[in-house]
Chain A
Amino acid sequence: MNLVTQERRKERLDRGIKVRTEGIYAVSSWQEVSYLVLPRLILIVGLLLLPFLMPSLYWNRVISIVGIYALLALGFDFLAHYVGLVSLGGSLFIGVGGYIAAILNKSFGLSPLFTIPIATLSGAIICTLLLLPALPLRGVYFAIVTLMYPLVLFRIIEALNILGGTDGILGVASFPNTWVEQYLILSIIILALFGLRRLVNEDIGLVFRGVKDNDQAVRASGLSITLYKAIAVFITSALGCLGGAYFVHIYMVAGISLFALDYSVIPIAATVIGGGGTLVGPLLGCFILVPISELLRAFGTLRIVFYSVILLAFIMFRSEGIMVYAQRKYHQFERWVKV
C-alpha cells in the first residue's frame, strides 16, 4: 500500500560489455568489437553519406556551413572542457582565417589548395599572439577579451576602409565543384573530432586537463601554464581559421560579416545541446541547430522565436546535452531500488 510513497532511487550500473571493452579483451569477440566500433562507424558513415542524402544545392551549402560551425564548436568544447578557457573568439578565428585566405588568393594568386593551409597556420599564430596577453585570465574575463577582438577588428576595417572596407574582398576563387567542397569539410571535421579525442588522452592532453583542474599544481609540476594554454589556443584557433578560409572560398567573398557574432554564439549553443566535454556532442549539436534554423525560415521573421523556444526546451529538459544522455544510456543500465 505504501509502496508508492516508499523512498526509492535510480541506480545506474555500467553494462558488462562496457567494462569488458575497456581493456584488451575488447577484441575477444565480434560483440565487443562492434560495441566499440558501431557508434563511431555510424557517425563517420552518416557524415560521409550526407551529401547523397541531401542532394539539392541549397542543402549542400547548409552542410558546408554546418561543417564550419562544427569546427568552431569542437574548438570551443576542447578549450572550455579540457583546458578551462571559455572562448567567445569564434568570429575572431573565422575573420582572421578568412581575410588571410582571401588576400592570399586575390593578391598572390594562390589556389585554395595553398591558401587554406597557409591561412590556417598563419591565422592560428596571429590569433594566439593576439590572445597571449589574456592567457593568465580565467573564466569570464578571458571570454570578454576574446569577444572584444572581433568587434575591434570589425570597426578597424570599417573605419580605415582597408581590406576592401565594407564591400569586402570580392571574387575569391571557389572550389572546383560541390563534391570537393563538401567532402573537404566533412573529412576535416572527422579528422578534427578523432584527432582531438586522441589528443586529450595523450600525455600532453593530460597536461591540458591538469591546467583545467588545478593550474597551481601544474606549475608546481614544473610546467608553464601559459605555454600550454597558448598551445591549446593555437589548436582551437587553427580549427577556426581553417573554417574561415574555407568559408571565403565557398562564398567567394571576404567581408566584415566574417566577424559576425553568430560564429561565437552558435558553437556555444551547439555545445550546450550536444553535451559539453564529449567533443562529438558539439558536432552533433551543430548538425541539429543549423538545419533547424534553416527549416524555420518558412516562418519568416518569427524564425528566431521558434529557434529560441527549441533552445530553451533543450536547456530546460536536457541540460546535460544529447551525447551525455546517449552515452549514459549506451554504457549503463538503470533500475529503481528501494532505499
Chain B
Amino acid sequence: MLVLALLLVSIGMLTLYFRESESGLAHRVQDTALSVVAPLQYGSARAIQPFRDGWNWTADLFRAKSENERLRAELDELRAGVAEELVTQAENDELRSLLDMERKKVFPADARLVTARVIARSTTAWSSSVTIDVGSDQGVRRYDAVINGEGLVGRVSRVTAKAAQVLLVTDQQSYVDAIVVPGAAQGIVAGSVTGDLTLQYVDKKEEVKAGQYVTTSGIEGSLFIRGIPIGVVETVAVQDVDLYQSITVRPFADFRTLDIVSVVCR
C-alpha cells in the first residue's frame, strides 16, 4: 500500500513538472535546490579537477596519434584553400565597400562576456547540460549564448542568483540556426541523445562539402549572434527520397573537457 502510494505521488510530481510553466512550484523548488547545491558542486569540481585532468591527459595520449594524422590532413587541405580564400576575401571586401556595409564584429558593442567555471555535468545520457558558477547576480539571463575558446557551447536554460544551467548544443533538445561558410547554405544544427550534431533542413540545391565550417546564422529571431563557430561539416549525404541533405557536423568545442566558458550577456 505504502509503495503504491509512493509510486502514485511520483507520477503526480512528474505530471506536475511537465504540465506547469517554468515559474511553477516544481521548477522553483529545483531553482532553490540548485542554489544550495551549487557551492558544494563548485568545491567538489575544484577538488576533482586534478584527477580529471590526469585521466583526460592519459586518455588523450591514446587519441593523440590518430588526431595528429587527421590534423595534418586538415592542414594540407586548409593550405590549399588559403589562396582561394584570399581571392574570395578581396572580392568580398570590394563588394562590401560597394554596398557601403560595415563589417560586423562577431559580438555587438553592448554584449558583455562573463567568464564562468563548469561546476557540474549532467549525469544521465538523456540530457547534455552543465552547471556554471555564475547567475543572475553577474547579469546572466536565460537564453544567453555560452561559448569557449573553441566555439559555441550552448545556451543558458535555467538561472539562479549564483549559478546557471547550460543546455549544450549536443543535447537532443538543442536547435541552433546555422549557416555553412563559405557559402550561404542555411539550416538548423540539432543535437541528439548520442551527442552527434546534424545540420538539418539544408536544401538539396545548396552545395555543401565536408570540411566547410558551420557558424551561427544570427537571423532575425535567433537566440545567437551571427558568426559564432559551431563546428565543421563531417559528412554530407543526399538521398533522392529526402527533401533535405543529411549533414553531420563535428563540433569545435570539446564537451568532455569543458572547464572555463564565457556567457555572452546582452
Decide if A and B are genuine partners: no
A interface vs B, CB < 8 Å? none
B interface vs A, CB < 8 Å? none
